[in-house]
Each structure stands twice: as C-alpha cells, then as structure tokens.
Amino acid sequence: MTSHYDHAQVQEFWQYVWERDDVYELDDDAVDPTYVLGMFPYTSGTLHMGHVRNYAITDAYARYRRMCGDDVLHPMGWDAFGLPAENAAFERKTDPRSWTEACIRRMREELETMGFGYDWSREITTCEPDYYRWNQWLFERFYEEDLVEYEAAAVNWCPDCETVLADAQVSETDGDRVCWRCETPVGRRELDQWFFTITDYAEELHEGLDDLEGWPEGVREIQRNWIGRQEGARITFDVSRDGGGDDDRGDASNAGTVDVFSTRPETIHGATYLAVSPGHDLTRELAETDDAVAEYVDTARTRDPDEVGFDGVETDATAVHPLTGDELPVYVASYVLEDVGTGAVMGVPAHNERDHEFAREHGLPIERVIRPADADVDVETKAYTGEGVLEGSGEYDGMESEAARERIVAENDALEADVTYRLRDWLISRQRYWGTPIPIVHCDDCGPVTVPEDELPVELPEFVRTTGNPLDAAEEWKQTTCPDCGAPAERETDTMDTFVDSSWYYLRFLSPDLADAPFDVDRADDWLPVDVYVGGDEHAVLHLLYTRFFTKALADLGLLEEREPIRELKSQGTVLYDGEKMSSSKGNVVVPEEYGAETTRLFVLSAAHPEQDFEWTANNVRGAYDLQQTLYGMAADFVDEGDTRIERRAHDDYVSREIDRTIAAATEEYERFRFHRAATEIRELARLLRRYREYDRPNGAVHRRGLLTLAALIAPMAPHLGEECWNKLRGEGLVVEADWPEPDGNVAAYQRERQLVDRTLEDVRDIVDVADIDEPDRIELVVAADWKYRAAELVADAAGDGIDVDEIVDRLFD
C-alpha cells in the first residue's frame, strides 16, 4: 500500500513546527557563525523565478551547514526604497509606504510558503527610519572623512513637467529621448549634487580583485573593466595664446600648461595637435574671448552624452611639443571626455582610432612614428594601434615601442608615469521622494551643513502627488534653521540612491535592533565576512562594487576589521522558459498548484548547477515531483510493512556500503554547491534500496539506515519532505536539527573494491558475450566472498549451456 504525499498539508505542518521551535533563529552569542546570504529582494510585490532559485540555493546551503553542526546566520530583508514604489503610488492614488508595505506582506507570505528557513527575528526593511537613519549617519561619517563631494552634474530634465528625470523615466521614441509622462523631448541640466568619492579607493578595489578567489572570474573581470585601471603617463604641454593671430599686437599671453594622459607616451613624436574637453578649464578661459569656442561649448553641452561625434573647434591657443619644440594647434572637441584622465589629449592620429577620425575630419596631419611589422599597413586610411619599432622619433628611432614607452617617460621631465581609472565618483543624489533624505541643510551664509547627529533621522514627510519631487513641494518640511548659525535655511531635497541602502545591509543583520550604532562592531569582527553570497550577475558591478567600497570606507572609519565583505560569491544562472528569461508575465508558475511549493525548490536545485541557465519544462518539474513521491512512499512502506529480517547476509553489506558511498559523494556535492549532483546520488540510492527490498526480505537495520540517509540527504533541498520521512521513520526529532549523516565504513577502501569488481565484470563480459547483468544479481555478486568465481558462474549462467565455468575462471585469473 502506498500513502499519498499531501504536500499542502505537509508543508503547512512543518512550517508551523519550525516556527514554534524557532529553529532558524541564531543566538547572538554564537561564535563565528556561517553567514549565508541571498541578495535581498526589491519590494516589487511578487517573487519571480529568479528569486526562488536564488533563495533555494542559499536555503539548501544554510540547511546543509546547520546539519553539519555550524551556527548559521541566514537572514532576510527588503530593499524597499526606489522609484517604482513612487510611480505605483502615483498611478494608484496611494502612497509609496502603503504600497511597499503591502508588497512586503505578500512577498513574505510567498517566501514562507516556500519554506525557506530564515531568521525572521533579524528582518530589516530599508524604508524604515530605524534603518535609513544609519544611511544618514554613515553619510555624515563619510562627509567628515572627505568621502563626500558636492558638485555640479548633468541630469535629465523635462522642460514641460519641470522636473528631473531618472534614466528609467526617459523613454526612447524613434531615437528621441522623451519624458515618460508627457513625451516632451528630454534636455540636460546642471545641478549641484552629492557624490561619494569611490575613486579614492580605485586602486584598492582593483587590486583586491586578485585575492577574491571565491568569486567567479567573470564577475571579477567585469569589475576590473569597470574600474578601468590604465597605466601610462601624464605629459605637460606649455600652451600660449596668440591674441587673435595679429603679429603687430605682440601680446601673446601665456595661458599656462595643459596636462594630458596617454597610455602610449612613446607615440609622442606623432602628436600633431592637442585637444581639450568642452568642460576643461582652458576651454572656459578661451570661451571668454573666443565666440566660436563659446558657441561650440553651448551646443556640446546640451547634447546627449552618449553620442560622440568628431566635431570640434580650433582655438587661438598653441601648444609646444615638449620634446621637439614644434607648435601644435589646440582644439576643443567633445570626443575628449571631461572626466577621463585629465580631460585633455595629445592627438596622435596615426596610432589612435579616435584621433584618426578627428584628424580626418579636420584635415590634420597624420604622422607615423611606429613601424608595424606588416609593411602594408597604411596609417592614412586607418590608425595602427599595435606595437612596433619607433621611427620619426629622434634618438628613440629603432627601439621597440614597449621598451620606448618606459624610456621616454624616464628620460624627459615633461612626462611622468601615471595611472588613471575609468571609474567615476558615485553620484548618490536622486531628485525623488522615496529614498533616504540626505541629511543636509542649505544655509545662505554657511553653505551646506550636516544635520546634527542627535536630530537624526531626518524623516520623510507625508507623500504628496506631484509631477516633480514631492520633497520640493513639502514646504513645511523643507523650511528649517541652520544648525550652525540658526538662520532660516532649507533642507536638501535630494534623496540617496538606493544602492546606498544595499551597500551595508549585510551589516545590519548582525544587530538589526541596535539603537545607537548601525551595527555591533565586535560582532562584525567575529561574524564577518559573509561566507556565501548568492545573487544574479546583473549586480556584478554597481551593487557588488559599492558594497566593497563601503566595507573599505567603514574599515578606514575604524568600524570594521574586514576590508572585503564577501568571501564566496555565487552568481546564479537564468531560468528560461521557451528559451526566454522567465518572468512573472509568463504566468504563475512559481508555485505550481498541483505539485506544491517544494517541488519548485527541488526542481530548480536539481535541474542544473547554480551558475548554469536552464529551461523550465513541465516534464522536468514532474521529475522532481516524482522523486518526492518515491521517497515518501518508501518511508511509508517501510513503516507499514514492519516485518524485517534481522540476520545479516553478504548483500546487506553491499547495500550498507553503498549507503556510505552515497553519503560521502552527496556531501562532496553539497560542499561544492552541486545540488543537482547530490540529487542524482539520492535518486540512485533510492533505486538501489527499492531493488534491495524487491530482491529479498531486506535486513531491517540496513534498510532503515538507508531510508533515514535519504531523508537527511534530501532535507536541505526539500525540507518538508525530509521532515515527513524522518518523522515517519523515527517518530521524533526534526531533521533540520539532525546531524548530517556520516559513513559507517571506510568509503575509500570500498570504492577501490567496487572499481575492481566493475573491471572484472567487464573482463568476464569480454569473454562471454552476454547482455547487461541485472542490479540485484550484481548486488549478490559484489558482496559474495567468492565473488570472482561467482562472477564467472553468473556470466556462464546468463550465457546458457555449453560454457564451462572453470574455463572462464581460468582465463580470468591466470
């Protein structure tokens, strides 16, 4: 008789028991617990398949470690600030807080349905003043440490709504960038905004990547590119102005010097012009007296920053080549980026593609100074950017470019070795409501002043519906007095980028209720870093880079010992559906009604390695469902049958050793996050145990141990099923709190023996052509003391009459 596994009832029951017994709560006194974290979800209102996979992975690992005897920290919280809540509130005539709270309730329920084992006593929600006050507090500590800057930066501006638009609020219509609400073409505007100077840590962020051995190389490479460390030289050019080109005025004024950054300083003899960005100091100076420059700067500024053309304007300034003394024209050009390097370049058209384009456009000379190995290369048509031998470079002629690169820098005062980074400072200002208010008061006399610590948090005022930033409209909230001089002053109305919230949330889980600090520093020294962090690889840069930056900054503030937040990082692959990324719009497939929530977990874990993409198919889900039914049915049958054999025979030893082998193999797979392979081991053992039972009346102790092993091994992936089987077999205790199984015997010795048997079997089959030997027969064969002889006998049997067993044995063992 088989009992049906009623998943709904089973899930509900064990979830109740776990909660009643607080099994997932971590004691604050724990010493160095294993910290397992999944990227906390944005409170969109519903879990999608990516979340389920993410959290199934962390949950399985957390449960595995717990059964291994570790204290485990496995918390959950909500990334609750951000524009979507504000938009939803605007559209649904509610407010972001109510909307977000409703989302959290629903999502928490969904997580609970899945049976994930979180320590909910540590739940955090970033939009709560209890949480975001620490964003403000940290902002102020950063401010004191000069990690905060207030500078003009361009924003998207809708002239009709008179409001700043986030990038996500800019739509593309026929190549035009328009406002998402009124479809007016979007312009650019300069506003003073707040930055974290992450670039102060560029070198450490770059260098530290080499040591992050627990991170996927792909993610490290993305960060490396993002940081964009480049070695090269800073080269100083004297620049002078010829006041309009009229000789008789004779008042050429010295405009000073311009530094350029180049990764190829050895090409300096090929420089035929100098170009500065529209935002460069020299440009500003030139624009005062040169209308053409002023006009060019105006048009360049309103343009979309992403579309780089090779337009530019020649100026009346002249640069002196520091090595040859030649005079070079100076241009203002928008392809020279203001915040890259020094915001100025020496133009080497023969060896740099962009300079080549610019030179062609403006009729500038192209002078080859590196001879490529391939004589056919013509730098008039295309820049040659490779290495080669120097020519047209005076005393450096004939040198290899790589060697000359260092030499030229070492031997000339105008050149100095330098490093630049592509990484920009982190603009944290958002002209939106639903975020952490930046704790600043603007005073006419004192400038920006930080809000005193004892006045934190600066809480958000009530939400009002407006097209612009509701904080601008909150007059009463905005008007305040200057903390320094007491004069009337206005609050900063920018809020923080939500990536600030997620940069340190992993720390808040250590002591979520702490009232006088963002986190308990002693516990942080003890519990950190995060041992395993799992999430989507779309976070390879922003979030994961900001978190690293925060950790280093906090260490420099004396709050942390660790300088890296995450030891091991796992980026989970995508769940596909008909070849596309699975999304909520594909229907409610997260929790298939007929199979139950746990089937989903088991399926996403057993389908593929966590880092691999896989296809969601009804068939494969069915496979996970069947495994559940099988394991449950086996435990139920065992209990129902009762009557078992006590005496022990040879093949019982075989099964016993197979149980040991499975434990060892599955443990290894769990260690390496290869849950899909652990599932395969489990399936195989289940198959063996079924045949064991069919073969003969099984030994009760061996059989029971096998079934308990299955319950324990499946429990991290399918905890409800694990509990149900465990409970059936033992009648007491929880599998979540059970010890991870250990082999009874010597697995290594047994492995060798098994290999030997397999090889012998093959040999036998080489001699006598028979079909595959059945598993039950093999069981007997393997466990028998005189197995070699019996192997031969068996094969002979299978092959039929006329074969002499002794002859086979002779041939096998001589």
Interface ranges with Zn ion (CB under 5 A): 443, 445-446, 482, 484-485, 487
Give the helix/strand (H/E) hosting 292: helix 291-302
487 vs 618 by CB, closer to Zn ion: 487
Q: What's the min distance (Å) between Cβ of 448 and Zn ion?
A: 10
From Zn ion, ligand ANZ, none, which one binds at residue 341 (CB under 5 to 8 Å depending on kind)? ligand ANZ
- CA angle at 778 for the pair 777 and 784, rounded to the nearest 5°: 95
> With contact defined as beta carbons under 8 Å apart, do 392 and 367 qualify?
yes
Shortest Å, Cβ 686 to ligand ANZ: 57
| Interactions with ligand ANZ, residue window 154-213 (CB under 6 A) | none
How many of the chain's residues bind ligand ANZ (CB under 6 A)? Answer: 17
By beta-carbon proximity to Zn ion, the closer residue of 216 and 448 is 448
Smallest distance, ligand ANZ to C-beta of residue 5, A: 60
**With CB cut-offs between 5 and 8 Å by kind, which of Zn ion, ligand ANZ, none does residue 446 bind?**
Zn ion
What single letter denotes the amino acid at residue 534? V
Q: Which residues of 107-143 are buried (b: 16+ CB within 10 A; e: fewer)?
A: bbebbebbbbbbbbebbbbbbeeebbbbbbbbbbbbb
Task: Report what 193 binds from Zn ion, ligand ANZ, none; CB cut-off 5-8 Å by kind.
Answer: none
User: 57 — phi, psi (to 5°)?
Assistant: -65, -50
Report, in Å, the least distance between residue 442 CB and Zn ion.
9
Question: CB-based burial of residue 605 (10 Å sphere; 0-12 exposed, 13-18 middle, 19+ buried)?
Answer: buried
The gap from C-alpha 791 to its chain's centroid, in whole angstroms, comes to 54
Question: Taking CB within 5 to 8 Å according to partner kind, which of ligand ANZ, Zn ion, none is near residue 340?
Answer: ligand ANZ
Smallest distance from Zn ion to CB 217, Å: 52
Q: State the nearest-atom distance from the C-beta of 496 to Zn ion, in Å.
A: 23
Measured from the CB atom, the residue of 43 and 277 that comes closer to ligand ANZ is: 277
Q: Which of 63, 66, 241, 264 binds ligand ANZ (CB under 6 A)?
A: 264
Q: Which two tokens stand for residue 331?
A: 């241009």
Q: Are 508 and 497 in contact (CB under 8 A)?
A: no
Q: Does 262 bind ligand ANZ (CB under 6 A)?
A: yes
Residues 6+ apart with CB under 8 A from 443: 449, 482, 484, 485, 487, 489
At 361, is the secondary structure helix, strand, or coil? helix
Per CB under 6 A, contacts with ligand ANZ among 577-636 are none
2 vs 115: CA distance, rounded Å: 25
716 binds ligand ANZ (CB under 6 A): no
By C-beta, is 483 or 700 nearer to Zn ion?
A: 483
Choose the one of ligand ANZ, Zn ion, none that binds residue 443, judging by a C-beta under 5 to 8 angstroms depending on kind: Zn ion
Residue 484: which of Zn ion, ligand ANZ, none does it interact with, CB under 5 to 8 A by kind?
Answer: Zn ion
CB of 441 to Zn ion, least distance (A): 8
Token duo for residue 616: 């969601």
Asked if residue 488 has a cis previous peptide bond (ω within 30° of 0), the answer is no
**Residue whose CB is less far from Zn ion, 21 or 445:** 445
Question: How near is the Cβ of 23 to Zn ion at its closest, in Å?
Answer: 55
Identify what 267 binds: Zn ion, ligand ANZ, none; CB under 5 to 8 Å per kind.
Answer: ligand ANZ
User: For residues 479 and 443, is the Cβ–Cβ distance under 8 A?
Assistant: no
Q: How many angstroms separate the CA atoms of 604 and 614, rounded?
A: 9
Least separation, in Å, of the C-beta of 449 and Zn ion?
6
CB of 342 to ligand ANZ, least distance (A): 7
Q: To which residue do tokens 């280093």 refer?
A: 552
440 vs 559 by CB, closer to Zn ion: 440
Contacts (CB under 6 A) with ligand ANZ, residues 268-297 = 277
- Distance CA(318)–CA(274), nearest Å, equals 9
| Single-letter amino acid, residue 40 | F
Within positions 338 to 377, which residues make up the interface with ligand ANZ, using CB under 6 A?
Answer: 340-341, 343, 345-346, 348, 351-352
**Residue (275 or 808) nearer to ligand ANZ, CB:** 275
**Buried/exposed code over 710-738 (b: 16+ C-beta within 10 A; e: otherwise):** bbbbbbbbbbbbbbbbbbbbeeeebbbeb
Q: Rule CB under 6 A: which residues touch ligand ANZ?
A: 230, 261-264, 267, 277, 336-337, 340-341, 343, 345-346, 348, 351-352
